[in-house]
Amino acid sequence: MHGPYSDGYAKSRVETPKASRYHGHMSHEPPRTYIGCCGAYCRTCRAFKDGSCKGCKLGYATGERDLAKAKCRIKVCCMNRGYQSCGDCPDLDTCDIIHSFHDKSGYKYRKYRESTQFIRQYGYEEYIRQANAWTNAYGKLGPPR
């Protein structure tokens, strides 16, 4: 959903009835499906909420989307390895794919990195608990209370 890593779904900002139906259907996916492999959080992302992006991982488990057609190298690698996000990956510290993304200039990329490392340290349940309060695909994270 971001620049060269887009899987193509975020390119069209036109909200169609079909996109809205798809979006509604996806609301039944397990909570972790809303976490982008890179550390973005789709559930609170504006592009996801307005229907212009289908989210990072939604629809693959049901066959509605085909991972072979995904353009994002992060997502392809992460999902092919069976991870929920790069926070699960033992190669996180040395991986050029994720580092070239997290090293991009811009606040949001620093937040995606922070999310990935938060997930690795504290796990998904705590991440989802805090991320559900955000108003965008990234936001504030703090030590579990």
CB-closest chain residue to ligand SF4: 36
CA-CA distance, 16 to 119, in Å (whole number)?
34
Size of the site for ligand SF4 (CB under 6 A): 23
Q: Residue 91 Cβ, how far from ligand SF4 at the closest point, in Å?
A: 4
Output 3 or 144, the one with its CB closest to ligand SF4: 3
Binding site for ligand SF4 (CB under 6 A): 1-2, 5, 7, 36-38, 40, 56, 72, 74-75, 77-78, 81, 83, 86, 89, 91-92, 95, 97-98
